[in-house]
Chains A and B, each alone.
Chain A
Amino acid sequence: MDLTRRELLKTSAAAATASAVGITIPAAALAKSKEADAGVQWDKAVCRFCGTGCGIMVGTSGGRIVATKGDPDAPVNKGLNCIKGYFNGKILYGKDRLTQPLMRMKNGKFDKNGKFQAVSWDVAFDEMSKQFKKTYQAMGPTGVGVFASGQYTIPEGYTMAKLMKAGFRSNNIDPNARHCMASAVVGFIQTFGIDEPAGNYDDIEHMDAAVTWGANMAECHPILWARVSDRRLSNDNVRLVNLTTCSNQTSDIADTEIVFKPGTDLAIQNYLLREMVKRDAVNHDFVKKHCVFSTGPYDIGYGMRGTDKYAFDAEKDIQAKELRITLDKDEAIAQRRKEGEVVEQKNTKKPVKHWMITFEDFKRGVEPYTLDFVAELSKGDADEDLAAYKAKLVELADLYADPKRKITSFWTMGFNQHYRGSWVNEQIYAIHLLLGKHAQPGNGAFSLTGQPSACGTAREVGTFAHRLPADLVVFNPKHREFSAKLWKVPAKTLNPKVGSHITKIMRDLEDGHIKWAWVQVNNPFQATANANHWIKAARKQDNFLVVSDPYPTVSAKVADLILPTAMIFEKWGMYGNAERRTQAWRQQVAPPGEAMGDVWQGLEFAKRFKLKEVWGEQKVPGLKAKGYDDGKLPDVMAEAQKMGYTPEDTLYDVLFANKENRKVKWPDAVAKGHGNHIAEKLGDGWFPEKALFDEYRQFGVGHQHDLAEFDVYYGDKVRGLKWPVINGKETQWRFNEKYDSYCAKGSGFDFYGKALKKLPSGNLDKPTSKDKTSLAHKAKIFFRPYAAPPEQPDDNYDLWFSTGRVLEHWHTGSMTRRVPELHRAVPTAQLFMNPNDAADRGLQRNDLVWIESRRGKIKALVETQGRNRPPKGYTFAAFFDKGVFVNKVCLDVTCPMSKEEDFKKAAIKVYKA
């Protein structure tokens, strides 16, 4: 590069940065920077990675992305990028991009034991649909499954949800987002009757205190953390508290760090609730007007299989806890029972049931959680002085209770990936609701998300085994009726039986309940706990696994067919971030080789199915629903014919390229000259992303989930909009009359969510009446007791083990490890451990060790310094590295309510390799 060009680029980089953060620069510098930009076409887009949803500008030249920058107009990140975000453009250009379909072949045809060979898309779809039909005919809709994603664009998620639910009549579609925020969802639905946060990121600039609970924001949400840091450093009164099981980078800027023992967050929450009651910090007016108290059963198991038939021998002692447990000393106090009592887990099938209790009962529930009890139970660092630890808990209570202090609680995977993840989510709302500190600027509990469209696609579109779009559910007859009508399919096409959640799809592949599965936009065979089981299951002779992937991941490796897939800026897309903000981008460059977008893959597959193949009578074992014969879905062909369809119509014609959608034409002015490889390849003149989005938004309009029309999000000035969008105006704080037009006039606050709003009454132990009372417009304050983690360190497996992310890599590293710079910055996952624990085992920094649990063993290098500083007895390794396959040792316990796995609490032993 010549010197002049280099200087020019520097001027331009400086000008872009200055303008991003609002610093005025001399006109001459500005003019020069424009010169450097000549030939680069810029367009707005969204970051591919976490749930923050930063706006970026993508610069293309000659059909390639040549530069990216933080979008100065994006309210989320105000022009900044984190290290990952900075490399958005580069993830497309890894040297091993998959560019053609690959199938396992022997002697010119598919063979499960063959080697991968390149095939045409036609051959790929032929084999894929042949295998699908074989399984579908033998097993019905429950024999097939889709591993869906919180990284799907909205049109991708919608295409697949509609194809599975309305086309194949199967609810076996469930996203990796299950492992990310399902516990948060249960917390929202149980407490408010509607999913997603009341507040938004602007809470950061309004709050006087922030508390992070099991969220290492400094590494995992760095841009939001930059905003929090900015708030802290520009205001002496602001306080930050980091509650964590391992000292980390978030602690560096926090005023107070509270290191607690894994699982005891539940006890700390109950201590806070007890303190609020004792100090009479309760906002009685708010609680009386807007809340009720509630509780549910404790004997709900741990989300494991109910049988040890498939367990390795070493796993059987933990698996047995799914059936019964013996209460330890602390659980006995916390649950008002006796130590040593054996408790049969009787409510594993109905863990979410709950009933109303009185405030008096609630007070009785939290009474055992004294400072002495909770401090002894929860202190996570053996070297910390108990009195000093107690003082921190009191200080935390002071911050929450102070009526003059606006306080925001943040959490992510520490809460969500938890054997009682739904409970800890409910309890954080309990604290805020009891204080009347929710749904107001700076005051509220805010659930951060990990994936770019966990909210926008997985949750709002409903790519879950139990969901339909806009918070509707498959087991509610009215919801099915509404959805079928909107989708123009016969009423009884939809299957009322909840499908398999993502961990269950794995278990189904292992035990033969599912024999055909399709993986899209995720890498579940690396990302699911207890992976040794699932890798084996994928390779079972009669299972057929399709993996759509841009890169050769672990999941691709165990597949039978790999479909090369277009990546983010190679297609049109929309994501929804953690603050309800829906954002959109256009295709910037064409995908390489024969790679194609997921929308196209879904649509092409749909072309291969005629109505007569899927809408006849289908068996669904275990189905029991009003209006349906037991165990089967009815033949709906006669009704379909009345609606004008013929048995020869394909699912593509009926569900997707139908008369309405074909009116939405490609090309379209909204493209401003950008291409659309999907519309162009289909070649039948419609614009799938736009048609499908505008169809989808009808689910939410007028139903508290209003999205704007497709074109609005592509407006030059629009940087996403927070739903509900009413008359073009976004909603800042939901449930607050001042900001949310869905609130009843004069209500002040209105928790108008509709789900689970009729409850029986009872006491702390059980419901005492069958009559249900309506609690419309109210939120619930739950009592949930401390329960001990099912697996804890013992004499044999003597250390805690937890997994998560590092700043430089995202999830399983399939994208970030393709950026050589990021790969080199953090090439392998290290085992972070306390120097004393290392010394006790004769280990030094950088020693290669075995990490062994009941479920498997892996090798990693020891790290005793650096960014994570575990207390004695605690270890951590990130899961991005397939070479250090941490999910082989992790435990597939789930929160029984949310079915989200607990990746944070396994017991391991460590010894020299």
Chain B
Amino acid sequence: MNISGILVIVAPENVDSTVETLNKLDGIDVHHIEQSSGRIIITQEAESVHDEIDGLKRIRELPGIVLAEMSYHNFEEDTENVSSIPEELDDESLKTDNIPPYLNE
């Protein structure tokens, strides 16, 4: 489980419509809004950080988004399974004290 805090900036006149759109997205909660500067603080919850990156891209592609950047990242309970790592590392025998087989190819 990954939780990130994200700053979204839109033109002030687009704040309401953007908040409405954001609220419809999976895993997104709108927490704070500063109408005058068009700034919206949201959190995003996702199964993996990969999904979080995709999630951020999805926000950036919404109409009228000036900026969407992450500020905070929590991965304290991130026990995600690593399934797509560089092939030289994708080896069951790989434990901290073993010699990566890649070195002795």
Contacts and interface: CB of A to CB of B under 8 A. Distances in A.
B62 interface: no
Contact of B67 (A67, A230, A820, A825): A230
A848 B86 CA distance: 19
Contact of A23 (B41, B80, B86, B105): B41
B103 A552 contact: yes
Contacts of B66: 229-230, 233
A406 B41 CA distance: 33
A226 B65 CA distance: 13
Contact of A17 (B7, B53, B76, B96): B7
Contacts of A82: 69
Nearest to A819: B49
A759 interface: no
Contact of A817 (B42, B86, B94, B97): B86
Contact of A100 (B34, B45, B97): B97
A507 interface: no
A10 B45 contact: yes
B3 A21 contact: no
Interface in A550-568: 552, 556-557, 562
A820 B96 CA distance: 17
A21 B70 contact: no
A552 B88 CA distance: 9
Contact of B6 (A17, A820, A827): A17
A18 B32 contact: yes
A98 B97 CA distance: 8
Interface stretch (A83-91, A164-172, A393-401, A471-479): A83-91
A79 B7 CA distance: 10
Given A821-B49, A825-B50, A557 B71 contact: no
Interface stretch (A112-120, A194-202, A280-288, A601-609): A112-120
A593 interface: yes
B75 A14 contact: no
Contacts of A115: 104
Nearest to B81: A820
Contacts of A83: 53, 56, 70
Contacts of B56: 83
A69 interface: yes
Of B1, B73, B80, the most chain A CB neighbours within 10 A belong to B73
A95 B85 contact: yes
A16 B71 contact: yes
A95 B43 contact: no
Interface of B, secondary structure class, is: mixed
B88 to A, nearest CB: 7
Nearest to A68: B73
Given A25-B32, A823-B85, A14 B70 contact: no
Contacts of A116: 99, 103-104
A820 B50 CA distance: 8
Contact of A99 (B80, B87, B96): B96
A9 interface: yes
Nearest to B8: A17
A183 to B, nearest CB: 31
A235 to B, nearest CB: 13
B39 A86 contact: no
B64 to A, nearest CB: 11
A824 interface: yes
A160 B100 CA distance: 28
A782 B1 CA distance: 57
Interface string A529-561: 000000000000000000000001000110000
B83 A820 contact: yes
B74 interface: yes
A870 B74 CA distance: 37
Chain B: number of interface residues, binned into ranges: 35 or more
A177 interface: no
Interface in B31-60: 31-32, 34, 39, 41-43, 45, 48-50, 52-54, 56
B94 A14 contact: no
B72 A69 contact: yes
A556 B74 contact: no
Nearest to B46: A821
B29 A96 contact: no
Contacts of B32: 14, 18, 23, 25, 29
A882 B89 CA distance: 13
A95 B71 contact: no
Interface string A1-23: 10000100111111111101101
A594 to B, nearest CB: 10
Nearest to A817: B86
A253 to B, nearest CB: 9
Nearest to B100: A552
Given A556-B103, A821-B50, A89 B96 contact: no
Given A61-B76, A83-B70, A821-B48, A95 B103 contact: no
Given A16-B5, A17-B5, A95-B94, A883 B87 contact: yes
Given A14-B32, A67-B75, A229 B5 contact: no
A858 to B, nearest CB: 16
Nearest to A40: B76
A94 interface: yes
B82 A820 contact: yes
B71 to A, nearest CB: 4
A69 B76 contact: no
A441 to B, nearest CB: 23
A817 B102 CA distance: 15
Nearest to A233: B66
A10 B43 contact: yes
Of B45, B89, B103, the most chain A CB neighbours within 10 A belong to B103
Contact of A86 (B7, B67, B70, B80): B70
A13 B5 contact: yes
A371 B16 CA distance: 49
A769 B4 CA distance: 66
B7 A21 contact: yes
B81 to A, nearest CB: 9
A6 B53 contact: no
Of B43, B83, B94, the most chain A CB neighbours within 10 A belong to B43
A70 interface: yes
Contacts of B71: 16-17, 20-21, 69-70, 79-81
Contacts of A23: 32, 34, 39, 41
Interface in B20-37: 29, 31-32, 34
B77 A1 contact: yes
Contacts of A552: 88, 100, 102-103
Contacts of B17: none
Nearest to A10: B43
A391 interface: no
B36 to A, nearest CB: 11
Contact of A9 (B74, B80, B85): B74
Contacts of B41: 14, 17-18, 21, 23
A16 B72 contact: yes
Contacts of A825: 50, 53-54
Contact of B3 (A13, A100, A233, A882): A13
Contacts of B100: 96, 98, 552
A596 interface: no
Interface of A: 1, 6, 9-18, 20-21, 23, 25, 29, 61, 66-70, 79-83, 86-87, 89-90, 94-100, 102, 115-118, 222-223, 226, 229-230, 233, 552, 556-557, 562, 592-593, 808, 813, 817-825, 827, 882-883
Given A18-B32, A21-B39, A86-B4, 4 more contacts: A13-B3, A68-B73, A820-B83, A825-B50
25 contacts: A1-B77, A9-B3, A13-B4, A13-B5, A13-B74, A18-B5, A21-B71, A70-B72, A80-B71, A83-B56, A86-B4, A87-B49, A87-B73, A89-B73, A89-B75, A95-B94, A96-B89, A99-B97, A116-B103, A230-B66, A556-B103, A562-B103, A820-B80, A823-B86, A882-B86
Q: Which 6 A-B pairs have the closest CB atoms?
A: A17-B5, A14-B31, A821-B49, A13-B5, A17-B71, A66-B76
